[in-house]
Amino acid sequence: MRAGDAGAAAIWDALARVPDPELPFVSVVELGIVRALERVPEAAGAAAAARWRVVVTPTFSGCPATRVIEADIRAALDAVAPGACEVVTRLAPPWSTDAIAPEARRKLAAVGVAPPALRCAAGAPAGAAGGDAPAWRTVPAVACPRCGSARTTEVSHFGSTPCKAQFRCDDCLEPFDHFKPH
């Protein structure tokens, strides 16, 4: 096998070891940032052209980690299959937290970040406030990742990164991050 002739499994394996810069315990594959690995049709170019296309999608439009993630993915690909991969960004359909793998959700909860509820399951924005809440309010019901209490309060829609909101548990009183359903 020539250098750069790695198969799909090896490329996936390399991508699965690229951590998210802000949540280093989960990988860019688990977060759904790497969307697909496609074989580039042979007719598309000369022998030297890329043979694999890695399709990535950004999470939040303005997330400062996007550039770092792209560079990390590029470096991982260059290490496992030099010159064999191109990286393309695809916006549609837009990234959703529904793309986060179940294992990554468990890892988030384990470090005290309440994972996002599935949006598709309800057919509507997760946990739409309901009751007598005004129409523009869709704060989801979030369980405390430390004590499991459902009595929690949103402190701020926004947190330490674009993908998180700040919550407080009304039982154990600990503040915690919530990965926003998006």
Which letter does DSSP use for residue 27 in this model? Answer: B
> Does residue 24 touch other proteins according to CB under 8 A?
no
Name the residue with tokens 């049709």. 41
**H or E segment at 5?**
none
Taking residues 29 to 58 in sequence order and writing x for each that binds other proteins by CB under 8 A, - otherwise, the string is: -----------------------------x
> Does residue 107 touch other proteins according to CB under 8 A?
no
Residue 104 phi, psi (nearest 5)? -70, -35
CA torsion through residues 75, 79, 83, 84, sign: negative
Q: CB under 8 A: which stretch of 6-14, 15-23, 103-111, 157-165 binds other proteins?
A: 157-165
HSE toward the beta carbon, residue 25, CA cutoff 13 A:
11
Question: Which tokens belong to 132?
Answer: 């007598």
Taking the least distance from each CB to other proteins, the nearer of 4 and 138 is: 138
The one among 156, 170, 171, 173 contacting other proteins by CB under 8 A: 156
> Does residue 131 touch other proteins according to CB under 8 A?
no
Interface with other proteins by CB under 8 A: which residues? 58, 60-64, 66, 91-96, 125, 134-139, 155-160, 162, 166, 180, 182
